[in-house]
Chain A
Amino acid sequence: MTRLVDRLSAITAGLSAWMFFAIGIMVTYEVIMRKVFNAPTIWVEEITRFFQIWATYIAAAYLLHHREMIVVEIGDKYLGSRSRRVLEFVSLLVIGIFSAVALWHGTGILLESIELKRATSTMLGVPMWMTESAIPVGFALLFLQCLAEMVRLLRGELLPAESHHGPGSADL
């Protein structure tokens, strides 16, 4: 079961990575159309933002699984494995509760938008549910991943690599 969740997170993260890639291509297309052909598009500005919302939230679970979220690294060298596990559990609890809140209220907003047929006030008039659903979907995934990580902790499985800090991780 936990494996299934990991698999799902990996798939959505892959999707997210290529959505960012696609954003780059779309922005380039827009610049070329406008500067070279003097024919600006009406969709790039909006669609790229929508991609950004989706890409960000569907990748959160993957980051949690691989412990790629930025944490304060202070004194963790001095922690025993038992206290480390306790801290890990507390952190998962915070993330889990936050995800549940985002999922619950995000769904509320989504249902309301569907009912009222809300759409963006641009030329495209994209229905709001298409992008607002990114929040409940993303945080549902994150919530599931949280549960999977908790199960793993309780089962006593090994924690992922303790320190993933190094070039290529999230430091700027």
Chain B
Amino acid sequence: MTILLIVLALVALLALRVPVAFALGGLGAALLFIEDISLVMVPQALYSGMDNFVLLAVPLFLLMSNVLLKGGVGKDLFAAVQSWVGHWPGGLGVATILSCAIFAAISGSSVATAATIGTVAISEMTSRGYDRSFVLGLIAAGGTLGILIPPSIPMIIYGVVTEESIVDLFLAGIGPGLFLAGLFIGFCFLYARFGKGYTPTPRAAWAERRRATLRALPTVVLAAIVIGGIYAGWFTPTESAGIGFSVALIIVLARRSITWPLLLEAVRVSMITTVSIFLILVGAKVFGKAITLYQIPQEISQLIVGNISEPWVFILIVCAILLVMGLFLEALSMLLIMVPVLHPSLGAMGIDPIWFGVLFVVMIEAALITPPVGLNLFVIQAVAKAPLMDVVRGVWPFMLMMLATAALLWFWPDLALYIPFKL
């Protein structure tokens, strides 16, 4: 009963358009107040929530990708990849996905990835006669690689909330990320073969390839350092982010591709994104303390274990709930509302928390591009200035591929777990 009331109160606050951070924090504080527990817990949670070295990776990864973005790296990356694969069947589509995958390795966010590659790729592809819906769907889907291929901000937050290893989470994202990229590329070939037709791009000359590649090379090397450094154990994710940011700064300064106003904008946008994420995080922390005192996660865990004997039923229900939540919540809010409640049940169900984290991220992304009202659809719509229906029509094959990947993860957990634990 209490559970139901709390859920209703949360939904009501969110529907009233109270910012997610304060809907969670305010409800948490109210719950503490009702039980006559000292509200000193509120500032304590606010303080301890931010007093965390691991979380520093969030602003630093954001700074790194924003500095590169404002330095025009997206365009160079796309140009370089296109010079190699542009003449393939469906080549611009393939170039789009590959650029997204490479950019994903320097960006922890799907929207930044989709927006960066999208601004270049959309006009390039539509002008060559690719079907508009296909292009928009492709960009929306390519963007989701941003949070699967490390670094990934949702995975950092997942790691902080569940106290699981962020390095393991990052590494576990690589397999499914590359697998999805492969699926998307395969779909581009199919489109080229059976789709509405397009004007193929001529094969680029070697001089052109060399020029474009050299221009994009520093970014690719940076991506390799960031991920390779974490993988090899040279740096922690936070250190890797710090180094990545400094090197990004050096790259754009050396190329003189960033101006003072652009740098200011990069710093400002990073701050806004960081703070809006962190406020939700601490709001969720206050909320989490309160519901723990009410023993809600334990009760839910008992409820689940008592009624659901099969882990696959549990996973199926979680996935269904996420698909519904994706209609109106963005990635991080979904994660911060669901994970603290579900985490205690994982052990009882015998589910690997790292595997669950990866599945969760895949499902969040699938939910965000699920028509009719996934949030990422709106973002793509805004980037492309296209009617929403165009995006929706293009996105469903990709959504099905993502759901299929989620299902595959169930039957073949090593897709995620091989790289961190068995390699």
Q: Which residues of A contact B (CB under 8 A)?
A: 13-14, 16-18, 20-21, 23-28, 30-31, 35, 45, 48-49, 52-53, 55-57, 59-60, 63, 66, 68-74, 76, 87-88, 90-91, 94-95, 97-98, 101-102, 104-106, 108-109, 131-132, 134-136, 165-172
Contact = CB atoms under 8 A, between A and B. Distances in A.
A108 B43 CA distance: 10
A20 B378 CA distance: 29
A117 B273 CA distance: 35
B15 interface: yes
Given A31-B235, A91-B16, A101-B42, A166 B271 contact: no
Contacts of A28: 242-243, 245-246
Contact of B115 (A48, A57, A167): A167
A20 B63 contact: yes
B43 A102 contact: yes
Nearest to A120: B51
B328 A72 contact: yes
Contacts of A165: 378-379, 382
A45 B53 contact: yes
A20 B19 contact: no
A78 B378 CA distance: 17
30 contacts: A18-B267, A24-B60, A24-B241, A26-B242, A28-B245, A28-B246, A53-B51, A55-B271, A56-B274, A63-B279, A66-B272, A71-B14, A72-B15, A73-B328, A74-B327, A74-B328, A76-B17, A91-B16, A94-B13, A98-B22, A98-B26, A98-B29, A98-B42, A101-B29, A104-B39, A105-B42, A105-B43, A109-B43, A170-B276, A172-B277
B42 A21 contact: no
Interface stretch (B105-113, B127-135, B310-318): B105-113
Contact of B40 (A13, A95, A109, A168): A109
Contacts of B328: 72-74
A27 B236 CA distance: 11
Nearest to A53: B50
B154 interface: yes
B17 A167 contact: no
Contacts of A170: 272-273, 276-277, 330
Nearest to B38: A105
B51 A72 contact: no
A69 B277 CA distance: 9
A97 B53 contact: no
A110 B330 CA distance: 35
B-side interface mostly: helix
A24 B248 CA distance: 11
A110 to B, nearest CB: 9
A170 B279 CA distance: 11
Nearest to A88: B17
A-side interface mostly: helix
The contact size tier of chain B is 35 or more
Contacts of B379: 165-167, 171
Nearest to A108: B40
Nearest to A136: B43
B18 A71 contact: yes
Contacts of B339: none
Nearest to A66: B272
A46 B44 CA distance: 18
Given A16-B275, A69-B276, 18 more contacts: A26-B242, A31-B243, A56-B50, A56-B278, A56-B282, A59-B275, A60-B279, A63-B279, A71-B17, A71-B18, A72-B14, A73-B328, A91-B16, A98-B42, A101-B39, A167-B379, A168-B115, A170-B273
A171 B111 contact: yes
Contact of B270 (A17, A87, A101): A17
Nearest to A23: B56
Contacts of B246: 24-25, 28
Given A57-B46, A70-B21, A72-B15, A49 B53 contact: yes
B186 to A, nearest CB: 26
A63 B50 contact: no
Contacts of B154: 172
A16 B42 contact: no
Contact of A24 (B114, B245, B273, B331): B245
Nearest to B32: A101
